[in-house]
A = this chain, B = another copy of it.
Amino acid sequence: MSQRTVEDEALLDAARECVLEVGVRRTTVTDVARRAGVSRMTLYRRFPDVTTMIQALMTREFSAIVTQVDREAERLPTGRERLVAGAIDGADRLARNPLFLRIVDVDPELLLPYVTTRLGQFQLAVLASLELQLLEGVRDGSIEATDPAIVARSIELSLRGFVLQTLAEGAEAAREPELAELRRMLDRYLTP
């Protein structure tokens, strides 16, 4: 989909409510259409199937996190500070995102391919963003100059564990110290 219309946004809002209520697997076109107050045909004209709709929903939800995180990190003076703050804040926001939590809780097997098999669109976007930020940090002298692709990959890989264990027993209490420690790890890793 090139550009989302107001109607698309309303359909995705309805899909979001369905997923929060029953999870991804049990969300149907009929439910979403009813909740959005449109016919199933109207919905099918925008999204050929549930999977496409859910993917559009996830893209919207997770892209919003990246945008928000980048905006908040903007005020920091060096490339390294912006990258580290953004990466940690992003991992934290993703781990607390209601839609993400619902999937981890109800349909965790849907996340498996992105952990064991291949990168999703969101991960590719994160990697691209990290690479740009690494180059900025190298340019202002706050980040050691090495291959940005492999460093971006290490950062993404090393934060997955934290993001996925969000529903683990004791994870809520451990969140702040763990985030502070991962921030310290990334900061030391990138410092020239």
Contact = CB atoms under 8 A, between A and B. Distances in A.
A164 B156 CA distance: 13
14 contacts: A112-B112, A115-B164, A116-B164, A117-B167, A117-B168, A150-B177, A153-B174, A154-B181, A157-B161, A157-B178, A157-B182, A184-B189, A185-B189, A188-B191
The DSSP consensus for interface residues of chain A is helix
Nearest to A105: B116
Interface of A: 104, 108-109, 112, 115-119, 150-151, 153-154, 156-162, 164-169, 174, 177-178, 181-182, 184-185, 188-189, 191
A51 to B, nearest CB: 19
A153 B178 contact: yes
A160 B153 CA distance: 13
A139 to B, nearest CB: 20
B116 A104 contact: yes
Given A116-B164, A157-B158, A158-B185, 5 more contacts: A108-B116, A116-B166, A150-B178, A159-B161, A161-B161
Contacts of A159: 158, 161
Of A104, A150, A158, A174, which is in contact with the most chain B CB atoms at under 10 Å from its CB? A158
A178 B165 CA distance: 22
